[in-house]
Structure 1
């Protein structure tokens, strides 16, 4: 059972200086030791969220995203940043309607509708204005950076992967370096249903700590190896909302990126006692091995 994390008193006092007295606090963290999120309730049942970022990098990304990128999603399609405090890596956010999609008993048709709305919001995010020179440089280098990370994750997996499996990862990393130009923009960075809030008002996105300039296709990796693998109708619905198909280069990049996601999962999952992430990596790698032999 996950232990409830207490909200630091100094953070609560800081939040109350901005929103008034807090009458109730609920731990809303993910099941990960570095996740620190609390729901705050004020008078009149008004709600906010406080988040302590796990690192300076994530804090910097998320505050920048809320100030300059997230507003393109539209009213109530994402939280608003009320305030932030760099010394504590803390953000105070408004609450948006809805509950995470995985916790809802959605029908087949409702899941398709959710993916269609997610495609719409992702397109808005990916096209959120022109990239400046620094962001464009980072975005255009993102696939090479991903490829270069393969050896780091292979070293961490050690004996968990066979020699043939390690070679398949290296082959896909090498192919990723040769993909060529692909569309770039701002990506969510953790684009998956747990960060999609569903309500009668429509879909909202949350958790922008990994938002950054990158190849747009990088935002589709988790969906490709989880949701869409068993539910191609959801993939079709997403791209109906996204309003364009992937280019040939993007499709090849996506396949290579799924291989790198697999080795990342097989390094991180066991080290952090996370069977769901480990299982995701193993399933992807087993599929790639089968396809490689055929």
Structure 2
């Protein structure tokens, strides 16, 4: 998706901010534009492809994102017919642009833990068995899709179904969850601290799912950053650690299927390797 004079993202930005300049950024998906106005203020204009995802992100900004203990974009405007959002730019450098040995990394992870703790504490609901059963059904569906696509062996499918059975028996706390909480959605400034972006997946879900991607994708090779995060968030109990392990099966199955369906080999390989490690 390229910008044109009739691009709804540009039209929405001009209504709010006047004439704007587009700043090409190869790190961004094509549906997102980075813009500045005449005063140098930064914006991101984002066009969704699915009405449900557009509505979900609107709900996130209206109801939940402000509970994070971090800076978040402000929703400046939206246009329902074109599924377009205009968001303010947050301060800081994308954390993925910083090396893992950067001296601020422990501070970043501790701040990320504290920010997520604030969100979950503000939106927490009591443990319920219904949530575990819902997640078990979802995991079974992902496992079957993976197997039907030839991505898993019979043993791997059985393992995923067993993990789903464990989830079905679990009583899980729910909270508003970011559901893609990882460094690619964090920005950092030594002066202003942590900022968190991308709320299109945000919805009430099992609280521990917000830790699963970090737990399985980022922390195996960086335990010092895991420890820093837990200083901010709190250390999982033995029972919560077991649930995080089970959520690894969910993470593996979704990565396998999405990597296959989108042609993302890196994501597919991550799912394959994680599944092998869990089994």
**2:122 counterpart of 1:128:** yes
Moved more, 148-157 or 267-276: 148-157
Partner of 1:98: 92
Partner of 1:153: 142
Which of 176, 183, 195 aligns to 1:193? It is 183
Moved more, 55-64 or 165-174: 55-64
User: Which whole-Å CA distance do the structure 2 matches of 1:237 and 1:277 have between them?
Assistant: 26
**2:267 counterpart of 1:271:** no
Which of 211, 225, 244 aligns to 2:202? It is 211
Q: TM-score, normalised by structure 2?
A: 0.90
CA shift digits 1:148-193 (9 cap, x unpaired): 123322332232211111111111110111122x332111111011
Give the CA deviation at 1:129: 4.3
In the alignment, is the contact (CA less than 8 A) between 1:140 and 1:214 conserved in 2? no
RMSD (CA atoms): 2.3
Report SS of the residue matched to 1:260.
Answer: helix
Partner of 2:219: 228
Report SS of the residue matched to 2:219.
Answer: helix
CA shift digits 1:199-227 (9 cap, x unpaired): 22211000001111111101011111111
**2:14 counterpart of 1:16:** yes
User: Which whole-Å CA distance do the structure 2 matches of 1:176 and 1:250 have between them?
Assistant: 12
Partner of 1:110: 104
4+ aligned runs moved over 6 Å, structure 1: none
Partner of 1:54: 49
Report SS of the residue matched to 1:127.
Answer: helix
User: Which whole-Å CA distance do the structure 2 matches of 1:91 and 1:18 have between them?
Assistant: 11
In the alignment, is the contact (CA less than 8 A) between 2:187 and 2:195 conserved in 1? yes
In the alignment, is the contact (CA less than 8 A) between 1:179 and 1:249 conserved in 2? no
Give the CA deviation at 1:24: 3.0
Would you tell me which structure has more helix in proportion to its own residues?
Answer: 1
Report SS of the residue matched to 2:246.
Answer: helix
In the alignment, is the contact (CA less than 8 A) between 1:77 and 1:204 conserved in 2? yes
Report SS of the residue matched to 1:230.
Answer: coil
User: Which whole-Å CA distance do the structure 1 matches of 2:177 and 2:106 have between them?
Assistant: 22
Q: TM-score, normalised by structure 1?
A: 0.86
> What is the aligned residue count?
275
Partner of 2:68: 73
**2:168 counterpart of 1:177:** yes
CA shift digits 1:105-128 (9 cap, x unpaired): 342542222111100111111123
